[in-house]
Structure 1
Amino acid sequence: MELSDLLIRLRKRTVAIDQAMFVAPAGGGVLPPDPQAQVAAVEDELALEIGPAEWAELERLAADPVPGRPLPRVLLVILARRALAAGDAKLAMRHGLAALAREQRDLAAQDVYLKAREAAGEGPGPVDPRGRFCAKPWRELELRPDLSGHACCPSWLAVPIGRADGAEGAAFWNSEAARAIRRSVLDGSFTWCSRLHCPHIAAEKLPRREEVTDPELAGIIRDERTEVAAGPRRVLLNYDRSCNLACPSCRRERIVADQEERERLDAVADRVVLPLLEDAKLVKATGSGDPFASAHFRRLLKRLDRARYPRLRLQLQTNGLLCDERAWQELDLEGRVEALWVSIDAAEADTYAVIRKHGDWQRLRENLDFMAVLKRRGGVKDWRLDFVVQARNYREMPAAADLARALGADGIHFHMIRNWGTFTPQAFREHLIAAPDHAEHQAFLAVLRDPALAWAGVDWSDLTPLRQRALTAAAKAA
Structure 2
Amino acid sequence: MTLHRGTKSKYDNLFEQTWIVDQEGLENIDKDLSTKYCKNLYTRFEVGPEGQVKMCCATWLPHTVGNLLEQEVEEIWSGKPAQKLRNQIVTGKWDYCQHKICPHIVGNNLPEQSWVTNATAGEPLIDHGASKNYFKAGQPVFDWEIEALKNKSLTPYPHPIDILFGTDESCNLYCPSCRADKIQHSEGPKYERRKYLTEKLMAAVLRIDPAQPVEVWITGSGDPFGSKIYRELLQKIDGKNHPNLIINLQTNGVMLTPKMYDSMHKIHKNLGILVVSIDAGTKDTYENKTRLGGHWDILMKNCDYLNDKARPLENSNNEWCLAFSFVVQTDNYKEMPEYVHLIKNRFPNVCAGIAFSLILDWSVMPAATYEDKCVWKTTHPEHEDFLKVLQDPIFLEDEQNLGNMKYLHEKANK
Do Structure 1 and Structure 2 share a fold, with TM-score over 0.5?
Answer: yes
Partner Cα separation in structure 2 for residue 19 and residue 221 of structure 1: 28
Is 1:276 paired with 2:205? Answer: yes
Is 1:460 paired with 2:402? Answer: yes
Q: CA offset at residue 267 of structure 1?
A: 2.4
Q: 1:253 aligns with which of 178, 181, 189?
A: 181
Q: 2:310 aligns with which of 368, 375, 396?
A: 375
Q: CA offset at residue 455 of structure 1?
A: 2.2
Q: CA offset at residue 337 of structure 1?
A: 1.3
* Contact 2:53–2:68 (8 Å) recurs in 1: yes
Q: CA offset at residue 300 of structure 1?
A: 2.1
What does residue 341 of structure 1 align with? 275
Letter of the 2:97 partner, please give it: C
What does residue 190 of structure 1 align with? 94
Gaps of 5+ in 2: 120-140
Partner Cα separation in structure 1 for residue 253 and residue 15 of structure 2: 32
* Contact 2:170–2:185 (8 Å) recurs in 1: yes
* SS of residue matched to 1:415: strand
Partner Cα separation in structure 1 for residue 269 and residue 387 of structure 2: 40
What does residue 113 of structure 2 align with? 209
Q: CA offset at residue 380 of structure 1?
A: 4.8
Letter of the 2:233 partner, please give it: L
Calculate percent identity across the aligned residue pairs.
28
* Contact 1:416–1:434 (8 Å) recurs in 2: yes
Is 1:225 paired with 2:153? Answer: yes
Query: Comparing 448-457 with 354-363, which one deviates more in the overlay?
Result: 448-457
Q: Write out the 4+ residue segments of structure 1 that deviate beyond 6 Å after TM superposition.
A: none
Partner Cα separation in structure 1 for residue 360 and residue 292 of structure 2: 17
* Contact 1:127–1:195 (8 Å) recurs in 2: yes
Partner Cα separation in structure 2 for residue 201 and residue 405 of structure 1: 27
TM-score under structure 2 length normalisation: 0.84
What does residue 424 of structure 1 align with? 366
Q: CA offset at residue 19 of structure 1?
A: 5.7
Partner Cα separation in structure 2 for residue 167 and residue 285 of structure 1: 21
* SS of residue matched to 2:239: coil
* SS of residue matched to 1:413: strand
Q: 2:61 aligns with which of 128, 150, 157?
A: 157
* Contact 2:20–2:363 (8 Å) recurs in 1: no
Distance 1:264 1:285, change over 3 A: same
TM-score under structure 1 length normalisation: 0.73
* SS of residue matched to 1:335: helix
* Contact 2:243–2:270 (8 Å) recurs in 1: no
Partner Cα separation in structure 2 for residue 306 and residue 166 of structure 1: 29
Q: CA offset at residue 23 of structure 1?
A: 4.5
What does residue 170 of structure 2 align with? 242
Is 1:392 paired with 2:320? Answer: no
Q: 1:243-283, CA deviations, whole angstroms, 9 ceiling, x for partnerless residues? A: 00000000000000131233322323333432234335211
* Contact 1:22–1:158 (8 Å) recurs in 2: no
* Contact 1:414–1:463 (8 Å) recurs in 2: yes
Is 1:263 paired with 2:256? Answer: no
Q: 1:404 aligns with which of 320, 343, 354?
A: 343
Q: CA offset at residue 171 of structure 1?
A: 1.5
* SS of residue matched to 2:299: helix
Q: How does 1:65-80 map to 2 (within 5 A)?
A: none
Q: CA offset at residue 169 of structure 1?
A: 5.1
Partner Cα separation in structure 1 for residue 155 and residue 187 of structure 2: 37
Distance 1:230 1:252, change over 3 A: same
* SS of residue matched to 1:334: helix
Partner Cα separation in structure 2 for residue 254 and residue 383 of structure 1: 27
Q: 1:325 aligns with which of 249, 258, 267?
A: 258
Distance 1:433 1:165, change over 3 A: same
What does residue 438 of structure 1 align with? 380
Letter of the 1:349 partner, please give it: K
Report which structure shows greater RCO (CA 8 Å, sep ≥6).
2
* SS of residue matched to 1:317: strand
- Alpha-carbon RMSD across the aligned residues, in angstroms, is 2.2
* Contact 2:74–2:158 (8 Å) recurs in 1: no
Gaps of 5+ in 1: 1-10, 25-102, 119-124, 473-478
Q: How does 1:285-324 map to 2 (within 5 A)?
A: 285-324=218-257
Letter of the 2:400 partner, please give it: V
* Contact 1:142–1:236 (8 Å) recurs in 2: yes
Q: How does 1:118-129 map to 2 (within 5 A)?
A: 125-129=29-33
Distance 1:362 1:337, change over 3 A: same
Q: 1:447 aligns with which of 389, 393, 398?
A: 389
- Larger Rg computed on CA atoms: 1
* Contact 1:126–1:202 (8 Å) recurs in 2: no
Distance 1:129 1:375, change over 3 A: same
Q: CA offset at residue 150 of structure 1?
A: 0.9
Q: 1:26-46, CA deviations, whole angstroms, 9 ceiling, x for partnerless residues? A: xxxxxxxxxxxxxxxxxxxxx
Partner Cα separation in structure 1 for residue 404 and residue 206 of structure 2: 29
* Contact 1:320–1:364 (8 Å) recurs in 2: yes
Distance 1:22 1:393, change over 3 A: farther
Partner Cα separation in structure 2 for residue 167 and residue 230 of structure 1: 15
Equivalent pairs, count:
370
* Contact 1:339–1:380 (8 Å) recurs in 2: no
Letter of the 1:464 partner, please give it: K
Q: CA offset at residue 170 of structure 1?
A: 3.9
What does residue 40 of structure 1 align with? none
What does residue 98 of structure 1 align with? none
* Contact 1:284–1:314 (8 Å) recurs in 2: yes
